[in-house]
């Protein structure tokens, strides 16, 4: 009996059935979940009609956890057990956190791993676990609103999140039981939400100032394709910092020192945040704290926050320079993040880009809406969609070669996903293993870059130096996560590493890497040339020593003396700082050893042909 086809291959028996997908904006201050329903993108509310979920988790003595508004009320009364702004700690080491926060807002504990944990009355927790609590609440909200389990989610991250911070975010999603389809940059999601993919082609800038992070992205839109030309930013600068400078002003007015208790400090920060929000619509804000009433004007606020706004414009200049785009080429400036509600921010950004920024969509919801649109595409609900997001790697990825040199495999601002391969070989005769050190940064020498991970390739055939062929492949996926593999081509043996570092770069380290690469460009090139000549000199001397051990009797006493003198001169010069002198010494050694090389070659040819005639080789 013949079979009856009831659906096309790979299609559901209910072709009208949609897969449920959501976009999540995991924010520093607030988080949000959105979805596409009946062709419309909407944010999802809880049972009280609240769309924004404060990114706050309270850990009670009985080990229960409160998330959102319920937790936020404990920030003043029990600050040590109320974790907020945890996004600032994602993928960071304790040293990173201490460098940015003084004093520390929580009791951090350094564990055996490089992931710090926060001490609470309910036990120790990591930033990943706190974020997972927030994501779990959003997941439950989405499933109650949509009536079924989710097929997948897209989570947004700051464009300047490094590999460690992205991996931490993905791990938090998995811990919350989510199928994380993709991590996408917040500025890119905002551009999607504004429908700029459907507008005329051109270059746009997305200025994203959230509660704890700042990003600037320069994107080119071409027939619905988003290509991130360059990104820059500060992963530890946002609305929280505006609150802190206002809080410092309040402390000065009250003549309080820095050693106030955490409860009072949190009251002051809360009052500072309220004053900042009031001054968005009013010209004067009253601050009631410690039985005292203070007044803060909008002009005073502007003076306090101007240095922070100026700090955001520096990455804007760098991103434009990296993208090789002039200011007048920018077609639109999109404002994203709750902190862009501050009128002074809008004024200064409009002044810098010489055009009024786009502020039509609620800056709190725009990122989640863009993520929801992308999630809807990725689960297959819009198979014919031409929406394509092309992000970039923020810093160059490479590996260490002999002489502490960095060989860049994937340059910064390369569009991802990306795959690059390069061939390497062995340094010494009989070498059977190779250590591969993966690094990130813009400098020419390994100590000036950041180490991402190491792994070994073993089982290389013991061949003459330079004969083995090892192909090293770098793969960066759509989430910006890196996988490195190495394969010896003759044997097929392979090894690799999924680069999942336990902590990320501080904002100052990222900025320093980029600035140092420009400031020390000439110095780095000179250093690289010197190291390359030193490595080559070592190789030449080592090969010569081995040849002399095997066939030194081919030389007369005078010839051997000339070679030894030239080799000694090279050995002496290679420890110096003159790459030209080293090169000249190698050339001199080559000339002196030319007769020796010729005799060895003739000898080897005679040995190879012993017992054979020329006709055999011509057959």
Q: What is the reported pLDDT for 605?
A: 67
pLDDT at 278: 93
| Average confidence (pLDDT) over 222-245 | 83
pLDDT band at 444 (very low <50, low <70, confident <90, very high): confident
Give 262-269's long-range contacts (Cβ < 8 A, gap of 24+). Answer: 262/79, 262/80, 262/105, 263/76, 263/77, 263/79, 264/290, 265/79, 266/75, 266/76, 266/79, 267/76, 269/243, 269/244
| Residues 563, 458 share a domain | no
Residue 172 and residue 55 share a domain = yes
pLDDT above 80 for 133:
yes
CA 356 vs CA 303, 330, 422, 438, 490: distances in Å:
22, 12, 46, 43, 61
Same domain, 399 and 532: no
Within a domain: 290: no
**Band (564; pLDDT cuts 50, 70, 90):** confident
Please say if 25 is a catalytic residue: yes
Return all residues near 569 (Cβ < 8 A) that are at least 6 apart: 585, 588, 589
Is residue 77 included in any domain, yes or no?
A: yes
pLDDT exceeds 50 at position 7: no
Chain segment 469-506, per-residue pLDDT in tens: 888 888 887 666 788 888 888 778 887 766 644 334 44
What pLDDT score does 291 carry? 84
* 517 within domain boundaries: no
- Domain assignment present for 81: yes
582/103: higher pLDDT: 582
pLDDT at 257: 76
* pLDDT at site 143: 93
**One domain, residues 480 and 398:** yes
Number of domains in the chain: 3
> Which whole number is the average pLDDT over 429-455?
80
Q: Is residue 292 part of a domain?
A: no
Range with top average pLDDT, 358-367, 431-440, 559-568 = 358-367
Q: With a cut of 50, say whether residue 507 has pLDDT above it.
A: no
Q: How far apart are CA 6 and CA 13, in angstroms?
A: 7
pLDDT value at residue 432: 84
Domain termination site, one of 505, 531, 548: 505
Does 87 qualify as catalytic in the annotation?
Answer: yes
- Among residues 78, 163, 186, 364, the one annotated as catalytic is 186
The pLDDT value recorded for residue 523 is 65
pLDDT band for position 166 (50/70/90)? confident
207: pLDDT strictly greater than 50: yes
Does the pLDDT value for residue 174 go beyond 70? yes
Sign of CA dihedral 233, 234, 240, 241: negative
Query: What's the domain range around 602?
Result: 522-609
Tell whether 465 and 374 lie within a shared domain.
Answer: no
Higher per-residue pLDDT: 418 or 142? 142
Weakest mean pLDDT among 8-12, 19-23, 296-300, 452-456: 8-12
Average pLDDT of the chain is: 81
Q: Are residues 188 and 80 in the same domain?
A: yes
Do 398 and 381 lie in one domain? The reply is no
Same domain, 486 and 381: no
Q: Output 187 or 312, whichever has higher pLDDT.
A: 312
In a domain, 286, yes or no: no
Tell me, yes or no, whether 382 and 434 share the same domain. Answer: no
Q: Are residues 353 and 427 in the same domain?
A: no
The string of pLDDT tens digits covering residues 152-165 is: 999 999 877 877 88
Q: What is the pLDDT of residue 57?
A: 96
Check: CB of residue 34 under 8 Å from CB of residue 365: yes
Verify that 336 and 472 share a domain, yes or no.
no
Task: Categorize the per-residue pLDDT at 347 as very low, low, confident or very high, splitting at 50, 70 and 90.
Answer: very high
Q: Which CATH number belongs to the domain containing residue 127 in this structure?
A: 3.30.420.40
Dihedral sign (CA 255, 259, 263, 266): positive
- CATH no. for residue 449? 2.60.34.10
Domain termination site, one of 358, 391, 424: 391
Per the domain annotation, does 165 fall within a domain? yes
In this predicted structure, what is the pLDDT of residue 156? 93
Determine how many CB atoms are found less than 10 A away from the CB of residue 244: 17
Question: Could you say which of 72, 75, 87, 348 is catalytic?
Answer: 87
Residue where one domain finishes, among candidates 360, 391, 422: 391
pLDDT of residue 31 exceeding 50, the answer is yes
Do 464 and 367 lie in a common domain?
A: no
268 in a domain, yes or no? no
CATH number, domain with residue 559: 1.20.1270.10
pLDDT at 53 exceeding the cut of 80? yes
């Amino acid at each position: 009996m013949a079979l009856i086809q009831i659906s096309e291959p790979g299609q559901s028996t209910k072709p009208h059935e949609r897969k449920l997908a959501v976009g999540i904006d995991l924010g520093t201050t607030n988080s949000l979940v959105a979805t596409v329903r009946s062709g419309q993108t909407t944010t999802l509310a809880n049972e009280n009609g609240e769309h924004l979920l404060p990114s706050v988790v309270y850990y009670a003595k009985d080990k229960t956890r409160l998330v959102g508004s319920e937790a936020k009320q404990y920030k003043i009364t029990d600050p040590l057990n109320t974790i907020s702004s945890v996004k600032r700690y994602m993928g960071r080491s304790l040293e990173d956190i201490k460098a940015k926060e003084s004093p520390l807002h929580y009791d951090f504990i350094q564990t055996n791993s490089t992931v710090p944990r926060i001490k609470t009355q309910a036990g120790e927790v990591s930033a990943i676990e706190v974020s997972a609590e927030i994501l779990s609440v959003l997941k439950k909200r989405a499933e109650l609103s949509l009536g079924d389990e989710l097929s997948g989610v897209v989570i947004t991250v700051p464009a300047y999140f490094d590999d460690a911070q992205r991996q931490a975010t993905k791990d938090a999603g998995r811990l919350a039981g989510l199928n994380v389809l993709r991590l996408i940059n917040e500025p890119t999601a905002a551009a999607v939400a504004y429908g700029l993919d459907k507008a005329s082609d051109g270059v746009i800038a997305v200025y994203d100032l959230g509660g704890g992070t700042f990003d600037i992205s320069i994107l080119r839109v071409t027939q619905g394709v988003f290509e991130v030309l360059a990104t820059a930013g500060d992963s530890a600068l946002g609305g929280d910092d505006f609150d802190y400078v206002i809080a410092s002003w309040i402390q000065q007015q009250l003549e309080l020192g820095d050693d106030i208790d955490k409860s009072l400090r949190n009251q002051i920060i809360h009052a500072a945040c309220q004053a900042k929000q009031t001054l968005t619509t009013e010209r004067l804000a009253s601050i009631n704290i410690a039985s005292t009433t203070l007044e803060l004007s909008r002009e005073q606020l502007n003076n306090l926050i101007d240095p922070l706004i100026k700090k955001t414009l520096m990455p804007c200049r760098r991103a434009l320079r990296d993208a090789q785009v002039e200011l007048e080429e920018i077609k639109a400036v999109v404002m994203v993040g709750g902190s862009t509600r501050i009128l002074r921010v809008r004024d200064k950004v409009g002044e810098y880009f010489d055009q009024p920024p786009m502020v039509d969509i609620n800056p709190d919801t725009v990122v989640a809406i863009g993520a929801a649109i992308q999630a809807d595409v990725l689960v297959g609900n819009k198979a014919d969609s031409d929406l394509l997001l092309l992000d970039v790697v923020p810093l160059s990825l490479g590996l260490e070669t002999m002489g502490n040199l960095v060989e860049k495999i994937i340059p910064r601002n390369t569009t991802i996903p990306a795959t690059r391969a390069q061939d390497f070989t062995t340094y010494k005769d009989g070498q059977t293993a190779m250590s591969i050190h993966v690094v990130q940064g813009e400098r020419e020498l390994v100590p000036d870059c950041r180490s991402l991970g190491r792994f070994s390739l073993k089982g290389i055939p013991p061949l003459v130096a330079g004969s083995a062929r090892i192909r090293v492949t770098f793969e960066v996926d759509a989430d910006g996560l890196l996988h490195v593999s190495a394969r010896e081509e003759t044997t097929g043996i392979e090894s690799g590493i999924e680069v999942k570092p336990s902590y990320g770069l501080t904002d100052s380290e990222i900025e320093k890497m980029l600035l140092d690469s420009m400031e020390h460009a000439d110095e780095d090139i000179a250093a690289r040339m010197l190291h390359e000549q030193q490595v080559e000199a070592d190789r030449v001397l080592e090969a010569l020593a081995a040849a002399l051990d095997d066939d030194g009797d081919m030389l007369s006493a005078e010839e051997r003396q000339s070679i030894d003198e030239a080799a000694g001169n090279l050995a002496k010069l290679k420890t110096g700082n003159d790459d030209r002198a080293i090169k000249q010494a190698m050339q001199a050694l080559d000339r002196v050893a030319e007769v020796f090389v010729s005799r060895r070659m003739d000898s080897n040819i005679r040995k190879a042909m012993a017992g054979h005639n020329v006709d055999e080789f011509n057959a």
